[in-house]
Structure 1
Amino acid sequence: MADQGMLRSRATVLCFRNGKLLLVRRKSQKWNFPGGGVKPDELPIHAATRELEEETGICRERLLPLCTLYVEGILHHIFTLQIDDHDRPVPQNEIVACKWIMRGKLAHSDLKPAAAALLARELPALCA
């Protein structure tokens, strides 16, 4: 049996605005959804809130839990957030770019493998 303490866990935030989804990108990498690793003894909702603010400058406390999926060796805690028109994500820390894309235009080839694996799961939130 695998040691549950070694299970990698990630908090991911699917941010929506006017039918578009927010993507972030690190230097020389493909696009990803905002999020990151859950620290030991950190609740996934707190990790999602922290990562969203660290990467985009958007500070929101009311993320909605969508689901938890085990994909490619990582436990993904997925949250959603509707963002107002006046909220402007600004790349921060390791993030060099943010962009909005129509859900129907999401392409596996443009995404990091973990994000593409989530897209392949055909979550209703990610389907056009």
Structure 2
Amino acid sequence: MNMNLQHIPTWFKNINFFHDEYIDTRIPAALINDENKLLEENVEVKIKEITSKQLDIDENIDRIQLLENHHKIIQDELRTIQRLLIVRRTEETTEQSHVDIDLNEIQRLKRLTMNLDNELIRFNKRKTSFEVNSIL
């Protein structure tokens, strides 16, 4: 079917099918026949499909953005927990160091106390010895 397009108005030839505000896919009454009606219906169905797909895409983009934000929050939490864990381990190491130092100090004080006790015993023996010698 060879159509002569010379009698079709210029505005129809130059129609912008992807205009942002409105898409007019209707065929002018002069060109309506069964084949064109079928094509027009197919175009309308495709436009509805495209619109539906675009809405799905927009919804999925929103979901992706939400998931990315959630992921960032989780990553921040993970880093915070890791830092807290490092601090806690350092704290435990520090606490253990203090315990070790305290145990060493206790041992040192016990030895010192034993030495002082031994010195006291020697001193008392000498004192007793002097007292006995002075009585004699």
- TM-score, structure 1 length as denominator? 0.19
Higher strand share: 1
- TM-score, structure 2 length as denominator? 0.18
Higher helix share: 2
Between 1 and 2, higher relative CO (CA 8 Å, sep ≥ 6) is seen in 1
Larger radius of gyration: 2
